Amino acid sequence: MLAFLVQRISQAVLVMFVISVIAFAIQDGLGDPLQQMVGMSVSQDEREAIREEMGLNDPLVVQYVRFAGNALQGDLGISYFYGKPTMDVILEHLPATLELVIGASLIIVIFSVPIGVFAAIRPQAWLSKFFMGVSTVGISIPVFLTAIVLIQIFSIGVTVDWFPQDAGWGQWLNAALSTEGGLPSYGRGDDLTPLFGTWESGFFSQGGILHLILPSVSLASIMLPLFIRLIRAEMMEVLQSDYIRYARAKGLSSSRVYFLHALKNTMLPVITVGGVQIGIMVAYTILTETVFQWPGVGLMFLEAITRSDIPLIVAYLMVVGLIFVITNTVVDLIYGLVNPTVKLTGKKA
């Protein structure tokens, strides 16, 4: 266990080192940070003076060594735009992103398990086929399109007048297909509950939860179909195995067979995939947050790129790298708990 953790920590250090080197190497391609800081009519001399003051004229290697030296002392630089230490900026934005990921994960867990299990147990039922069909569509629609459609339907509202208004059935259909809208379409709202540090939570107020709905659903929309299909496929395979047949023959109730014996083994690959996907979800938040003006790290990162805020870009990439390493480590630990035959250090048992 200890050896495993040490190995993972050294991996994390390596990953972050590589990311920082790459981020530094490409910074010339990210544009000129000064362009965002001064007006158009500022003269070249003035620009040169500011550049010199900021140390942007030093060779890349010198800049990197300076950065790495500070980084080893926990200082990841100061954001050009925010004028604050990059870690403070990231920590300010991180809670919003984490809440979005938690919201989406909740939706995924709540819906994927029952639907996946149902579709595996009753593959022929029309409801299963319906879910499978919808999930195929869901997996192939890009997240920003989902988001825009959701906003149109649930925030702005749609008025349908395809059917004759004078006929009773037409009126009914029109009314049934029209929506009122009204759900918040941007941001996190006003009533956030301070938890600790920079964490202000939207989970404890009605307004906060309403603001979470559309972004979480959009973010979940990519992963949900994937998980439904994964659980269904795994479950169907497990249901074919000998021990399930034995359990049935033994006369165990079918709910016990399905949800205790079968589901537990189904979840093994799901946890693996899930862990990796949570990392990917953090990446997908960039799109979702942009569409919903969600003040999280994804939006912050995208804006940092347009502003060539290089210290913030580097720090964000390193933090995301760290998140990936941590989630993978946690997944491996959980995996070991669920399936004790797995050895953590990776040696063959």
Partner 1 sequence: MKTLLTAFVGSMALATAPMAMSAEANKELKMAYDADPVSLDIHEQLSGGMLQLSHMTFDPLIRWTKDLGFEPRLAKSWERIDENTMRFELREGVNFHSGNELTAKDVKFTFDRLKQSQDYKAIFKPFSELKVIDDYTFELVTTEPYPLLLNTATYIFPLDSEFYTGKTESGKDKSAITKHGNSFASENLSGTGPYVITGRQQGVRVEFERFDDYWDTESPGNVGKIVLTPIKENNTRVSALLSGGVDFIAPVPPTDLERIRRDKNSDLVTMSGTRIILFHMNQDRVEAFKNPKVREAIAYAINQEGIAAKIMKGFATPAAQMSPDGYQGHNDSLAPRFDVEKAQQLMKEAGYEDGFTISMMAPNNRYVNDDKIAQAVAAMLARINIKVDLKTLPKAQYWPEYDARAADMMMIGWHADTEDSANFFEFLTFCPDAESGDGQYNAGNYCNPDIDELVNKANVETDLDKRTAMLKEVEQRLYDDAAFVPLHWQDLAWASKKNVKIEPILNVMNFPYLGDLVVE
Whichever of 31 and 170 has its CB closer to partner 1, that residue is 31
DSSP, res 225: H
148 binds partner 1 (CB under 8 A): yes
Work out the end-to-end distance of the chain between its first and last CA atoms, rounded to an integer number of angstroms: 15
210 binds partner 1 (CB under 8 A): no
DSSP, res 153: I
Integer CA distances (angstroms), 289 to 97, 196, 205, 214, in order: 8, 23, 20, 11
The residue whose two tokens read 């395809």 is: 162
196 binds partner 1 (CB under 8 A): no
Q: Which secondary structure element, helix H or strand E, spans residue 322, and what is its range?
A: helix 310-338
Whichever of 211 and 229 has its CB closer to partner 1, that residue is 211
241 binds partner 1 (CB under 8 A): no
The least distance separating partner 1 from the CB of residue 286, rounded to whole angstroms, comes to 12
- Taking CB under 8 A as the criterion, the residue among 95, 103, 116, 184 binding partner 1 is 184
292 binds partner 1 (CB under 8 A): yes
- Considering only CA atoms, which of 304, 300, 278 is closest in space to residue 289? 300
| Assigned token pair, 124 | 């022929």
166 binds partner 1 (CB under 8 A): no
The least distance separating partner 1 from the CB of residue 151, rounded to whole angstroms, comes to 5
157 binds partner 1 (CB under 8 A): yes
- Tell how many helices (H) and how many strands (E) occur in the chain: 14, 2
- Taking CB under 8 A as the criterion, the residue among 290, 317, 326, 333 binding partner 1 is 290
Q: What are phi and psi of 84, to 5 degrees?
A: -130, 165
The piece of 36-44, 58-66, 131-139, 272-280 that touches partner 1 (CB under 8 A) is 36-44
Whichever of 299 and 331 has its CB closer to partner 1, that residue is 299
Beta-sheet pairing, 199-201 with 193-196: antiparallel
Whichever of 217 and 267 has its CB closer to partner 1, that residue is 217
The least distance separating partner 1 from the CB of residue 191, rounded to whole angstroms, comes to 12
- Taking CB under 8 A as the criterion, the residue among 37, 98, 213, 233 binding partner 1 is 37
The piece of 97-105, 169-177, 178-186, 231-239 that touches partner 1 (CB under 8 A) is 178-186
**How many of the chain's residues bind partner 1 (CB under 8 A)?**
52
- In the region spanning residues 91 to 120, those forming contacts with partner 1, defined by CB under 8 A, are 92
Q: DSSP letters of 86-152? A: HHHHHHHHHHHHHHHHHHHHHHHHHHHHHHHHHHHH-TTSHHHHHHHHHHHHHHHS-HHHHHHHHHI
Residues in the chain: 349
The least distance separating partner 1 from the CB of residue 111, rounded to whole angstroms, comes to 26
The least distance separating partner 1 from the CB of residue 293, rounded to whole angstroms, comes to 5
Q: DSSP letters of 156-187? A: I------S-SSSHHHHHHHHHH-----S--SS
Instruction: Burial-class residue 253 by CB neighbours within 10 Å (0-12, 13-18, 19+).
Output: exposed
Whichever of 113 and 214 has its CB closer to partner 1, that residue is 214
29 binds partner 1 (CB under 8 A): yes
- Report the Cα 307 to chain-centroid distance in Å: 23
| Assigned token pair, 21 | 């080197």
- Taking CB under 8 A as the criterion, the residue among 60, 193, 194, 206 binding partner 1 is 194
The least distance separating partner 1 from the CB of residue 181, rounded to whole angstroms, comes to 6
Which residues of this protein are in contact with partner 1, per CB under 8 A?
A: 29-32, 35-46, 50, 54, 78, 80-84, 92, 148, 151-152, 155-157, 181-187, 194, 200, 290-293, 295, 299-300, 303, 305-308
